Amino acid sequence: MSEQAPKKMAIIASKGTLDWAYPPFILASTAAAMGMEVKIFFTFYGLPLLKRDLKPAVSPLGNPSMPMKMPFGPKFFQGINWPIPNLVTSNVPGFETVATGLMKKTFKNKGVATIGELRDMCLEFDVELIGCQMTMDVFGFELGEFIEGVNIGGAATFLEFAAEADIQLFV
């Protein structure tokens, strides 16, 4: 395995919520740890994952599969899945902040790395992070808002690498 040219993985990260930020960073850091050459193309709502000020949130609204559980209290209490209607998740101010806080706490309790930690690992393992120029223009992002080491490119930049990649994923 190791004597051959390294395998390549190309990922498109198009979602920026806390839950969807995990797959690209987990897979990219792990692939790089396995010796693969990895590039992630951040586009649309995935682009804010490149910001220095990383604040991914999560919303249970319109996501009936998302378990709403409490990360504290006795075990039976933590096991309860709270059925919270859309009427509440959409109308109670700050509900997303609460849901995001609960999910972060749950992840921490379970020993899951933060998005920031996984992103740092990606950089340390030489994963190339590419920001979508068009999305920057549309949403008004400046290169200065992003972490060091981010490259900027477009569809052709991604496709040139993806065409040679062994694994291509759209997240």
Partner 1 sequence: MTEVEVDMELDCSGQSCPLPVLKTKKAMDNMESGQILRMVSTDPGAVSDMDAWTKHTGNELVASDVAGPEYVFYMRKK
**Residues 69-108 vs partner 1: string with x where CB under 8 A?**
----------------------------------------
x/- letters, 26..55, toward partner 1 (CB under 8 A):
x--xx--xxx--------------------
Q: How far apart are CB 119 and partner 1 at their closest, in Å?
A: 12
> Which residue, 112 or 155, is less far from partner 1 as judged by CB?
112
Our finding on whether 20 is near partner 1 (CB under 8 A) is no
Q: Binder to partner 1 among 68, 70, 84, 112 (CB under 8 A)?
A: 112
Q: Toward partner 1, which CB reaches closer, 1 or 5?
A: 1
Q: Do β-strands 151-153 and 128-132 pair in parallel, antiparallel, or remain unpaired?
A: parallel
Other Cβ atoms closer than 10 A to 63: 14
Helix (H) or strand (E) segment spanning residue 41: strand 37-42
Q: According to the binding rule CB under 8 A, does residue 171 interact with partner 1?
A: no
- Interface residues with partner 1 (CB under 8 A)? 1-2, 26, 29-30, 33-35, 110-113, 118, 121, 124-125
